[in-house]
Chain A
Amino acid sequence: MRGRWRGPSSHVDGVTVGGVLDPHAPDAPYDSAWHRRKLDYRLVNPANRRRFKVIVVGTGLAGAGAAAALGELGYQVESFTFHDAPRRAHSVAAQGGINAAREDTADNDSLQRFVTDTVKGGDFRGREVDAFRLAEESMRVVDHLNAIGAPFAREYGGTLATRSFGGVQVSRTFYARGQTGQQLQVASAQALQRQVHAGTVTLRVRHEMLDLIMDGDRVGGVVMRNLISGDITAHTAHAVVLATGGYGNIFFHSTLAKNSNASAIWRAAQHGAHFASPSFIQFHPTALPISSQWQSKTILMSESLRNDGRVWVPTRPGDQRPANDIPETERDYYLERKYPAFGNLTPRDVASRAATEQIRSGHGVGPLCNGVYLDFRDAIARLGRHTIAERYGNLFHMYTNATGEDPYEVPMRIAPGAHFTMGGLWSDYDLMTSLPGLFVGGECGWGYHGANRLGANSLLSACVDGWFTLPHTVANYLAPHLGTEPLADDSPQVRAALSRTRARADALLAIGGTHGPGHFHRLLGAILYEGCGVIRSRETLEHAIGRIRELRAEFWRDLRVVGTGLHLNQELELAGRVADYLELAELMCVDALDREESCGAHFRAEHQRDGEATRDDKRWAFASAWQVGTDGGFIRHHEPLHFDTVPLTTRDYR
């Protein structure tokens, strides 16, 4: 039946409808699929493992986990990061926690509920069978990270403490203060460095991946640029794992680290790897609005603030009075008004959308009228300043630091900021992309989170991929290749990849225009927020596509990269990343334009009823996996999504 199914035709210029992708999911009920598949995986004899070489790009939770686990098993692992140390990967910045279906509290949580929450939270655009793996391995993940040095918060009795997080009704989030990501990341980086010590992993820092080396239709290695010396080198292996994180930085202002980028996965896409759901981008509702020209990012404030803060805007558009001068009757607590059941705690996508509507209709606050208030006045009156300080003291401090305003006295200003990319390289159940030998882990992949990610599920997915999935699936892929050698250094494939990479770097350096890459990045971000942001429409997207193409042309005509390629050149690094963003941005908009429905974080203005998103399960219950065409167009392949244990329902937070 799957074979005969065809995706809907597209009305977007340049889009061709492709085929149906097979996720290679186990032929078993979803709740026993992972168990079943693990039994089916081929193994590699311990003595033979060192005869295989695996490259892992990225040292975040997924990359460090995969490299450490594979190294520990005995494979020859070469691990790369563009940072100066593995610990700096952006997993480090996650604040809230990590979900696990450990059923630690008597709140009737279960594996099935975890899956239901994840699938529903993702608005039925993720792969349910993957969510089961996520849930099952979540228990081991917490045990393992605890054992390798992550100090989880503890009850006074000594057992793990939990808290609840947005979008769920149980308490399954494990945490370490507001630094869960940091603690997990540091523990994983240490585990990786243990393998460096043991000699199983070769860790190369300050190396940025610029291309893949193809060996026929298989992936045979990567091309790296040494960021200190500018050396462009080829590294070959039997398999390559990309764990290079999300591409939210494409929006210029985002909650991501400044160096996070899409280059590795976009290079893979250029070689034919399918890119799933590029337009599924989560906007975090409690980021700080842009308030000055040179502000470099939208700092993230923890979602937990919405537990006590009330979100409001002035009733009268353009009301410029100071917040405290606006009387109660002229305040619109719009979340409480529109979603009385969930109030200020509606899920991220709903809260972001509601804020965007208010800002667009002229109710925005702040000097640039681009935020909404998050007010603690009532909470302070109810609970006392002391309690609020205890709960949010560090966040308030951070806010004051960033804005110079005191949230005890005046309401915070918040605005949606680009945060997490649910989309990424398409992979099958075994995390292998459509290019044999190329695997993905963590945010650069897709699958678990559908069209919207639940809080505290990102750390989990990265850990599950890295520590407990890739070590099995990579071995399964390697087993039949025993006795083969990676590509030789002087093979034509390697030489081709090297000269391609150099030509690209030279091309960037040779334009000799007038503006640095940062200029184009900034412009691209503005185009995307406007056209492919929290609310998209045919009109904004078509407009954005046109502007992106113009900007891309201008980039290649007017870019200036100061310096040469022979030294640490951050302008050149950024230029390469922006060049890739300018291509990926178009695909993002095409995907958003192509998908004629609203689901999760993808909200098309045309597809709503009474202000609520309308999903079209009849036509769009599939994941779009895009192939970059040779003619500048895109081919949309489809992975139909089947939901066995979670009935298709409409999310309703009213």
Chain B
Amino acid sequence: MTSSRVGRGRHAHGALVEGGTTDRDALGMGIVRSARLKPPPRIPSWVLKVVMAVTGVVFALFVLVHMIGNLKVFTGAEHFNEYAHWLRTVLQPFLPYEGLLWILRIALMVALVAHVWSAALIWRRGRASRGRHRRPGMWVKNFTARTMVVTGIVLLGFVVFHVLDLTTGTAGVAVDTFQPATPSTAHAYENLVSSLQRPWVALAYMVSMLALFLHLAHGLWTVVSDVGFTGVRLRTVAWWVAGVVALAVMLGNILIPIAVLMGVVA
């Protein structure tokens, strides 16, 4: 401080406290507090956002391809099981049996951990920065943004369930008739159909797909900002692409339990 300040004494008893202590130096500058709310984080939030964007795009591509693959269910059991088998044997002999699948699984797992971990940090930082008074009265339009945490948790639960149900066939989750894939054949069609014949599973599946739609629609749109695209036209296109992809994935996937329940696929 370069100034010569005198005469503080008179008002030194002023009740100026923030968090119980009086920041006299800050006050001398005409502000309440000079200390920052928090130290600079080791990983800046914008990096977390980029991580979420990149991993999110990986998931989006995955669910899109997955959905297209799922639609093969309408081409019949044989074709569908062949596809499941092909996924395990593709690129042999360069890769071992289930090689690509495991590469994908590991990549997705890493992405999932990074995505969820980033999300948790961002959520925590957001709450801390907002402070005690929450923001009420938001417009309807950002419903998807506001529900990202909820839809994310639903999706996380769904992923766990989905793996237990149709990949590992864990008892209690999967149907009793679950047959694991072998190096010679896959039973994906039978497993899928019998699982979705349980109405509560079909319903949970459909709800999860709705959550996926909401999550993807906002997530994909957010990507353009997170990776720093400022062009107006590009952003408009991205907004539409996000919506269309999310909608396509949801509709494509929801068709299956509906078809199963209606007996179209059996």
**Direct touching of A and B (C-beta under 8 Å):** yes
Of B1, B2, B8, B15, which contacts A231 at CB under 8 A? B8
Inter-chain CA distance A76–B1, complex, in Å, is 11
The interface residues of chain B lying within 8 Å CB-to-CB of A53 are: 2
Question: Are B27 and A231 touching (Cβ within 8 A)?
Answer: yes
Question: Are B7 and A233 touching (Cβ within 8 A)?
Answer: yes
Of A228, A232, A235, A236, which contacts B10 at CB under 8 A? A232
Given contacts A78-B2, A228-B16, A229-B14, contact A206 B7 (CB under 8 A): no
Question: Are B4 and A205 touching (Cβ within 8 A)?
Answer: no
Of B3, B5, B14, B29, which contacts A205 at CB under 8 A? B29
Shortest CB distance B208–A (Å): 47
The interface residues of chain A lying within 8 Å CB-to-CB of B3 are: 78, 202, 204, 235
Stretch at the interface among A307-315, A379-387, A486-494, A642-650: A486-494
Decide yes or no whether B180 CB sits under 8 A from chain A. no
Question: Are B29 and A566 touching (Cβ within 8 A)?
Answer: no
The interface residues of chain B lying within 8 Å CB-to-CB of A78 are: 2-3
Question: Are B11 and A231 touching (Cβ within 8 A)?
Answer: yes
Decide yes or no whether A331 CB sits under 8 A from chain B. no
The interface residues of chain B lying within 8 Å CB-to-CB of A228 are: 16, 27, 30-32
The interface residues of chain B lying within 8 Å CB-to-CB of A488 are: 4
The interface bits of chain B over 106-119 (1 if a CB of A lies within 8 angstroms of the residue's CB, else 0) are 00000000000000
Question: Are A234 and B4 touching (Cβ within 8 A)?
Answer: yes
Inter-chain CA distance A566–B11, complex, in Å, is 6
Name which residue of chain B comes closest to A206, CB basis: B30
Shortest CB distance B61–A (Å): 40
The interface residues of chain A lying within 8 Å CB-to-CB of B157 are: none
The interface bits of chain B over 1-37 (1 if a CB of A lies within 8 angstroms of the residue's CB, else 0) are 1111111101101111000000000011111100000
Decide yes or no whether A595 CB sits under 8 A from chain B. no
The interface bits of chain A over 71-91 (1 if a CB of B lies within 8 angstroms of the residue's CB, else 0) are 000001010000010000000
Inter-chain CA distance A486–B3, complex, in Å, is 10
The interface bits of chain B over 161-176 (1 if a CB of A lies within 8 angstroms of the residue's CB, else 0) are 0000000000000000
The interface bits of chain A over 469-497 (1 if a CB of B lies within 8 angstroms of the residue's CB, else 0) are 00000000000000000101110001000
Shortest CB distance B11–A (Å): 5
Inter-chain CA distance A226–B30, complex, in Å, is 7
Number of interface residues of A (CB under 8 A): 32
Decide yes or no whether A144 CB sits under 8 A from chain B. no
Shortest CB distance B91–A (Å): 55
Decide yes or no whether A230 CB sits under 8 A from chain B. yes
Of A202, A206, A229, which contacts B16 at CB under 8 A? A229
Shortest CB distance B42–A (Å): 24
Inter-chain CA distance A489–B27, complex, in Å, is 19
Shortest CB distance B7–A (Å): 5
The interface residues of chain B lying within 8 Å CB-to-CB of A230 are: 11, 14
Inter-chain CA distance A494–B32, complex, in Å, is 27
Given contacts A205-B29, A207-B30, A226-B30, contact A232 B2 (CB under 8 A): no
Given contacts A226-B27, A226-B28, A566-B14, contact A232 B7 (CB under 8 A): yes
The interface residues of chain B lying within 8 Å CB-to-CB of A38 are: none
Question: Are A236 and B14 touching (Cβ within 8 A)?
Answer: no
For window 550-570 of A, CB contacts with B under 8 Å fall at 565-567
Decide yes or no whether A203 CB sits under 8 A from chain B. yes
Shortest CB distance B193–A (Å): 61
The interface bits of chain A over 571-612 (1 if a CB of B lies within 8 angstroms of the residue's CB, else 0) are 000000000000000000000000000000000000000000
Of A202, A226, A494, A565, which contacts B2 at CB under 8 A? A202
Q: Which of B13, B15, B16 has the most CB of A within 10 A?
A: B16
Q: Which of B5, B14, B30, B32 has the most CB of A within 10 A?
A: B30
The interface residues of chain B lying within 8 Å CB-to-CB of A236 are: 4
Given contacts A76-B2, A229-B16, A233-B5, contact A502 B10 (CB under 8 A): yes
Shortest CB distance B121–A (Å): 29
The interface bits of chain A over 225-257 (1 if a CB of B lies within 8 angstroms of the residue's CB, else 0) are 011111111111000000000000000000000
Question: Are A494 and B6 touching (Cβ within 8 A)?
Answer: yes
Inter-chain CA distance A226–B32, complex, in Å, is 11
Inter-chain CA distance A170–B29, complex, in Å, is 46
Inter-chain CA distance A84–B28, complex, in Å, is 13
Decide yes or no whether A498 CB sits under 8 A from chain B. yes
Question: Are B4 and A486 touching (Cβ within 8 A)?
Answer: yes
The interface bits of chain A over 185-220 (1 if a CB of B lies within 8 angstroms of the residue's CB, else 0) are 000000000000000001111110000000000000
Inter-chain CA distance A204–B5, complex, in Å, is 12
The interface bits of chain B over 141-162 (1 if a CB of A lies within 8 angstroms of the residue's CB, else 0) are 0000000000000000000000
The interface residues of chain A lying within 8 Å CB-to-CB of B1 are: 202
Inter-chain CA distance A203–B26, complex, in Å, is 11
The interface residues of chain B lying within 8 Å CB-to-CB of A227 are: 30
Given contacts A205-B29, A205-B31, A226-B30, contact A489 B11 (CB under 8 A): no
Shortest CB distance B32–A (Å): 7
For window 171-219 of B, CB contacts with A under 8 Å fall at none
Name which residue of chain B comes closest to A84, CB basis: B30
Inter-chain CA distance A78–B1, complex, in Å, is 10
Shortest CB distance A593–B (Å): 40
Inter-chain CA distance A608–B30, complex, in Å, is 51
Name which residue of chain B comes closest to A567, CB basis: B14
Inter-chain CA distance A235–B6, complex, in Å, is 8
For window 33-88 of A, CB contacts with B under 8 Å fall at 53, 76, 78, 84
Inter-chain CA distance A502–B4, complex, in Å, is 18
Shortest CB distance B77–A (Å): 65
The interface residues of chain B lying within 8 Å CB-to-CB of A567 are: 14-15
Inter-chain CA distance A505–B182, complex, in Å, is 91
Name which residue of chain B comes closest to A207, CB basis: B30
Question: Are A204 and B10 touching (Cβ within 8 A)?
Answer: no
Of B7, B16, B29, which contacts A203 at CB under 8 A? B29
Shortest CB distance B50–A (Å): 28
Shortest CB distance B54–A (Å): 33
Question: Are B7 and A205 touching (Cβ within 8 A)?
Answer: no
Inter-chain CA distance A206–B28, complex, in Å, is 10
Question: Are B28 and A234 touching (Cβ within 8 A)?
Answer: no
Contacts A228-B16, A233-B28, A234-B6 aside, 18 further interface pairs with beta carbons under 8 A come to A76-B2, A84-B30, A202-B3, A205-B30, A206-B31, A221-B4, A227-B30, A231-B11, A233-B5, A234-B5, A488-B4, A489-B4, A489-B6, A502-B10, A566-B11, A566-B13, A566-B15, A567-B14
A-B contact pairs, 9 of them (CB 8 A): A76-B2, A204-B28, A205-B31, A206-B31, A231-B7, A234-B5, A235-B5, A489-B5, A566-B14
7 tightest Cβ-Cβ pairs between the two chains A and B: A206-B30, A205-B30, A489-B6, A489-B4, A498-B7, A233-B5, A566-B14
